[in-house]
Amino acid sequence: MIERNQAQLGQIVKVLRGRDTEKVAVIVGIVDERFVLLADGDKRKFDQPKRKNLLHLQLQNVISREVVDSLKETGRVTNGKLRYAVNKFVENEQAEALEGRE
């Protein structure tokens, strides 16, 4: 289980404040205990991550193994892997929402 305000590399987050409100992204870097770097592989690429305050994010209990492994091996992650992680999370969330309605 992930601690409430303990951000981890590869963790999926929902943006609560700012221009990207309601968007889903992946943590690709940790600046300090307050700020992280986000990318989604689409609008926000790995080479130009968004610096975001943790108070403006909703941390999800999902960590993308592909992203974490890639960051540990090479120090980078492809934008395709970021898009895959985000899309997989969104699809799972939509499937859970549909199951909840039935």
Q: Which of 2-6, 30-34, 94-98 is least confident?
A: 2-6
Count: domains in the chain = 1
The SS3 assignment for 58 reads strand
For residue 41, give Cα distances in angstroms to 28, 49, 53, 83, 97.
11, 9, 19, 5, 25
Task: pLDDT band for 1, please (50, 70, 90 cuts).
Answer: very low
The pTM of this model reads: 0.90
Average pLDDT in the chain: 92
> Is 35 contained in some domain?
yes
CATH number of the domain bearing residue 77: 2.30.30.140
Is residue 45 over pLDDT 60?
A: yes
Question: What range does the domain containing 62 cover?
Answer: 11-101
> Is 34 contained in some domain?
yes
pLDDT in tens, 4-21: 558 999 999 999 999 999
